[in-house]
Amino acid sequence: MTGCKKSGSASASTAPAEPTYDNAFAQLQDMPNQVNVKIDWVKQPLADASALGDEFSALQAKYSLDIKQLGGMASAAFVDGKIEISADANIAADAKADIEAFLGKVKAAGEGVIGIAGRAKTAAGAVSKMALKAPGVALKATGHLKNELKVATDDAKAQIQANIELVPKLTADVKAMVPDAVGKIKAIPGESAGVITELKAAFAGNGSFPKIAGGASASAGGEAGGEAAAGAEGEGEGAAGGEGDAAEPAA
């Protein structure tokens, strides 16, 4: 795709910020989820662009627009970042504002798609660092849980001790999932080529919009995340957070 490369690349420079955790054990538990968040962030522009298909059809029907006429304007916005209504389009004045607003969304979608490669590079780097970060978070998590154990009631002690014993597994799970997740992230730009071709055709009025579901990526870290959730199910502060030992989120 050509056009808007500067804007599209700029939008890809910052990955989603991680939450601020109340304690390091909660942070360690959430690491698999944060890997999935980054994978979804790389793919999100495709879903955003595809979601405009319903609005494309609604505009066409509302103002009885020729699909090629609307497609020409949408294609120019998506591919080249141009928001303009042709002088010879014979479009009613009351329709122009709606069409221009829609073309603005299409332009933003095109810039987002252009930025997928940049997003992938950013996300791969961030996920790679998580393997190095996990042992330090685990050390803080163990310290936090041991402090909790000192003041816990008898009913809570067993669960806290179980969480302490779970920390090495959670750490190993994060470190083990990172290489596979990085590989998947790096593959997204190439795997997106076919979808981008479909989107170009759809915005030009030459085909249907691909159906792309949003949501979390279960494949990259579901097992590790599930283990984390199961291990902390009974602890009040382990998942929700306690006071003290607050772990700083990754940049």
Lowest mean pLDDT among 37-41, 151-155, 188-192: 151-155
pLDDT above 70 (res 12): no
Which of 56, 48, 94 has the alpha carbon at shortest distance from 73?
56
Q: What integer is the mean pLDDT of 11-38? A: 91
Task: Answer yes or no: are the C-beta atoms of 242 and 23 closer than 8 Å.
Answer: yes
Q: What integer is the mean pLDDT of 200-217? A: 83
pLDDT, residue 251, reads: 35
- 214 pLDDT band, cuts 50/70/90, is low
Dihedrals phi, psi of 87, to nearest 5 degrees? -65, -30
- Averaged pLDDT of the chain: 84
pLDDT above 60 (res 241): no
pLDDT above 60 (res 106): yes
Q: Give dist(CA 101, CA 35) in Å, integer.
A: 34
pLDDT, residue 89, reads: 67
Please give the full DSSP string across the chain, using - where no structure is assigned: --S-HHHHHHTTS-PPPPPPPSSHHHHHHHHHHHHHHHHHHHHHHHHHHHHTHHHHHHHHHHTT--HHHHHHHHHIIIII------GGG---HHHHHHHHHHHHHHHHHHHHHHTHHHHHHHHHHHHHHHHHHHHHHHHHHHHHHHHHHHH--HHHHHHHHHHHHHHHHHHHHHHHHHHHHHHHHHHHHHHTHHHHHHHHHHHTTSSPPP----S--HHHHHHHHHHHHHHTTT-HHHHH--SS-PPPPP-
pLDDT above 90 (res 137): yes
Long-range interactions of 67-70: CB distance < 8 A, separation 24+: 67/205, 68/205, 70/99, 70/205
pLDDT, residue 88, reads: 65
Whole-model pTM? 0.79
Q: What integer is the mean pLDDT of 133-158? A: 96
